[in-house]
Amino acid sequence: MITFKRTRAGSELHMGALLRDALARQGLSVRVDRPWRSLPTEYLVAEVPDRPRVWITAHDCNGSTHYDTHQGALMGVTAVVTDEQNTRFVFYGLDNDTEARPVAQAEACAEAVAEFLGLPVPAPEGRCCLHCGRGIEWIEADGQGAWHDSSNWIACVDGESLHSPEPLCGWCEDTGLITLYDASTDGITGHQSCDSAPCAKRRKESAARLAQKHTDPFTDGTQEFGPQICAECHWGGFAPNGQHTLGRPEYMCTADGCGHTVAHADLTEGLTDGQSLTVVDGRLYVAEPYSGPPLPPF
């Protein structure tokens, strides 16, 4: 009888859960197996009807192979298939062209295996309410937002709870941090950033938004400049787009994927006496006389 070790939890930072979750997002279920009983190495096996099974493993820096290798020792992931033609790699993560980080290896391997097995590209998943299970979406207006269902309600049918989405990440519950525990005492020893695919994607998107977001208000000692924030995406700024309406410039949101355009006249309607629109370093601001304490000499 062959017995297998239990796949370690994702919080223990081994590759098994990372690979399993990445493959699941591609619509693949996997099992643990050995090619031969005499071989101690265990593999993740992915298969679909009428296609050869794919054997997936991870390689560590000591030359060992096992699908549940520790992420800190990972050199790369490989996926191999044997059919009537030959034995060949479906994915080879040990080359210099593939990013070596564990999450990138797992995601790239899962995509390659799914493509080989002929699975369709998974559609983006919707969000479900944590309380009632209904599909929900985030709707924002005037700088405030809430989760709405298809009936445009923000509360569950029982009226007791507001809609709240299920966590995207099962590792950190969307906190972005994984708690580290002492192996002997179970005491908390620290925290580290969650490296799961949803969290890594959100960090990348957040960094992109931060890079495009307007800076804080500033002053040059005579005027104070307040940023103009896009009313569509609520975080992008504005910059002249080179077009003019009635002799006045138009401005376009600087956020990728937004593209909201406004005319000069639309932005001047709410200005008070002493306020004016001005462009500084390619960004649009509302300028008004500075009334604060004198600035220190530089």
Distance CA 222, CA 255 (A): 30
SS3 129: strand
Give residue 209's pLDDT: 66
Q: What is the pLDDT of residue 298?
A: 43
Tell me what the pLDDT averaged over the chain comes to: 80
Indicate if the pLDDT at residue 4 is higher than 50.
Answer: no
Question: What is the value of pTM for the model shown?
Answer: 0.44
Report the distance separating Cα 180 and Cα 172, nearest Å.
11
Read off the tokens for 127. Answer: 């969000």
pLDDT of residue 244 exceeding 60? yes
Number of Cα atoms under 13 Å in the Cβ half of residue 8: 14
The model's pLDDT over 204-239, given as tens digits with 9 standing for 90+, comes to 776 676 666 666 678 888 889 888 888 887 777 888
pLDDT tens for 87-104 read 899 999 988 777 778 888
Q: Residue 58 has what pLDDT?
A: 94
Q: Which residues pair with 220 in a beta bridge?
A: none
Helix (H) or strand (E) holding 24: helix 15-25
CA end-to-end span of the chain: 79
Residue-wise over 108-125: b if at least 16 C-beta within 10 A, else e? Answer: bbbbbbbebbebeeeeee
Confidence at 2, pLDDT banded by 50, 70, 90? very low
